[in-house]
A and B are shown apart, each in its own frame.
Chain A
Amino acid sequence: MNLAAKDIRHNFGRFALTAIGIGLLLMIVMGMGGIYRGLIREATLLIDNIGADLWVVQGSTRGPFAEISRVPASLEDRARAVPGVASARRFVSHTVQREHRGKPLRIVVQGLAWPEDRGNWIPLVAGRPLRQAHYEIIADRSLRLELGEKIELGKNVYEVVGLTSGMVGSGGDGLGFFTVSDAQAIQFDVPGEALRLERQSRRARVEAEYIGQVQPLLVERAVGSASGIPALAPPQVSAVMLTIQPGMSAATVAATISTWPDVTVYSTQQQKDLLLSGMVDKAKRQLGLFRVLLIIISTIIMALIIYTLTLDKIHDIAMLKLMGARNGVIVGLILQQALLIGALGYGLAYWLGTFAFPKFPRLVVIENQDLLTLAGIVLGISVLASLLGIGKAMRVEPNKILS
């Protein structure tokens, strides 16, 4: 007969509560590991899918995934002239937070290099890629926008034509794909009054100079649009993505471009590593710390419960020893209970997770490898938790039965 099981049936309430508590803790441990995997998957989703071989970014920066990177749009044309480059596309990405249907809406505005890139590479769950140069958006589901829904950003209204699932930026906000020109229009949208004031002050400064007074054409240029004045035009894209011609080496192209002093060039793998070692690494350490603490707490709770369950049985353990039970019988009684609490907790964590994880605000990715590792850890802490009780039981003398 299994003494551990018989005792558990007798102490079912306390035992079940402990297993539930441990289960909830383990679910959080499991979820935190899943959030970390989710972070990596979300962060690298775009880089993996966008189909670039090289990234040309602002000189001495780590690129748009790590910090702000600004390069002139004309860099695209310079890059195209490098031998071995098959194509060059602009990469525009920035986050906006606007009001929509009375709620804040955070979108990672992602520019597609229309007309070469219409978003055909984007895995859609509904709708279609972009079909016109303006006013269309492919939105991620996490933004809670419907197909055909109209959304106002800046001075224009955009229609949702396609939906993706799980396409989010490294901050967890959903991506919205626009054409590059729409993305820029959203980014550089300035209220009309601000433009008028800016132009007024430009006019005043030009007219204050002698040359301004004798050259009316100059005044006319100064009060025109900023993009019409080359020296004033802001660098408007985040990076330029290159693909390499078949048979050519990315390293050779990268070597050529890296001699340009105004930009830095990274391979796709380097961009991924920079992204992961920066933001994701901190999150990893943070989540890791919480997981370690929760595992320690689980071990302590389990050890205390197993210990009190053992103390309750100390008289019975003395009786078993008096009847001549081997130590294995007594160790088995305590260890099996700890293992059962661990196993039930683990199973409960997994089961609860299948309901809870999809409702987490961030993507939770549970990988089999992580499940196995956690199972190993649970096994370890169950054994550890039973040591206190086993130690106590081993010290009991059979003649304690007489007192």
Chain B
Amino acid sequence: MTVPANSPAAVEAIGLTKIYGSGNTEVVAMKDVSVTLARGEVVALLGPSGAGKSTFLTAIGLINPPTAGRIVMGGEPVMDGARALVDLRAYRRKHLGFVFQKANLIPFLNAVENVAVAMEINDVAPRAARKRALELLGYLGVADRATNLPDALSGGQQQRVAVARALANQPSLILADEPTAALDSHRGRQVMELFRKVAHERGSAVMVVTHDQRSLDVFDRTCEMEDGLLRKG
């Protein structure tokens, strides 16, 4: 995959600030954070607990509107402060993929259905969705568990199904918040390498929040947050 040099950044966060609560309970979780992720780039987001990493990730994931700042995706302004400039849900299903510490699979759908549902809500025909979902499960090495319900899968298998789901609609931006925290280091590294592969092969931008120092070599670069501030990026 080659990314044209002049193509707009996958996401551009400009001066994002998030304040939770008000008055005595006011918490400034993120202060004037500006980050740009290019397409095809894998970036690690580091920092101690409570630094504001999840706040930043969910802000650019369009599920947690910032108090101030702007978000531009693929050259298109999508958030101005807490105000949405586009249909956020439509934007999420077309352009974003999420992976969390927990797999958050839908318990009444089997592995392949969990992946296919993400495509069906994005208007992919059921047959095509299922076919592609099976391919993705194969790509992630869990094709043999396609018809198992999440309950019957190990934690690592569940997480790989969740990654397949995040990749389903070929998003331009994949956001992963401590995706390997529940996995052993071998499996964790596999998932990280997968993100790198996806970014480089498919041109998605990937940002991964992680505490795992040993797999940092997988990333193109790292950003670090502390006390709501971006220390280096």
Q: A9-B108, A322-B92, A324-B89 are in contact. List 8 more A-B contacts (CB 8 A).
A: A6-B108, A10-B108, A11-B108, A315-B104, A322-B63, A324-B93, A325-B93, A402-B177
Q: Which residues of B contact A320 (CB under 8 A)?
A: 106, 117, 121
We find that the number of chain B residues with CB closer than 8 angstroms to chain A is 29
From 321 to 336 in chain A, residues with beta carbon under 8 angstroms from any chain B beta carbon are 321-326, 329
Q: In the complex, what distance in Å separates the CA atom of A329 from the CA atom of B63? A: 18
Identify the A interface with B (CB < 8 A). Answer: 1, 3, 6-7, 9-11, 315-316, 319-326, 329, 397-399, 401-402
* B54 and A329 contacting across the interface, CB-CB below 8 Å: no
Q: Which residues of B contact A401 (CB under 8 A)?
A: 100, 104
Offer 24 A-B interface pairs, CB within 8 angstroms, sorted by A: A1-B116, A1-B117, A1-B120, A6-B109, A6-B113, A7-B108, A10-B149, A11-B108, A315-B104, A316-B108, A319-B106, A323-B117, A323-B121, A324-B90, A324-B91, A324-B94, A324-B121, A324-B122, A325-B89, A325-B93, A399-B58, A401-B100, A401-B104, A402-B177
B148 within 8 A of A: no
Identify the B interface with A (CB < 8 A). Answer: 54, 58, 63-64, 89-94, 96, 98, 100, 104, 106-109, 113, 116-118, 120-122, 126, 149, 165, 177
Pairs A-B, 3 closest by C-beta atoms: A324-B93, A10-B108, A324-B92
Residue on A nearest B130 in the bound complex, by CB:
A1
Residue on A nearest B168 in the bound complex, by CB:
A323
Selected contact of B117 from candidates A3, A326, A397, CB within 8 Å: A3
Selected contact of B107 from candidates A1, A10, A322, A398, CB within 8 Å: A10
* B54 and A402 contacting across the interface, CB-CB below 8 Å: yes
Q: Which residues of A contact B58 (CB under 8 A)?
A: 399, 402
Least Cβ distance of A401 to chain B in Å? 6
Q: In the complex, what distance in Å separates the CA atom of A329 from the CA atom of B233? A: 39
Q: Which residues of A contact B120 (CB under 8 A)?
A: 1
Q: In the complex, what distance in Å separates the CA atom of A329 from the CA atom of B122? A: 11
Selected contact of A319 from candidates B54, B94, B104, B116, CB within 8 Å: B104
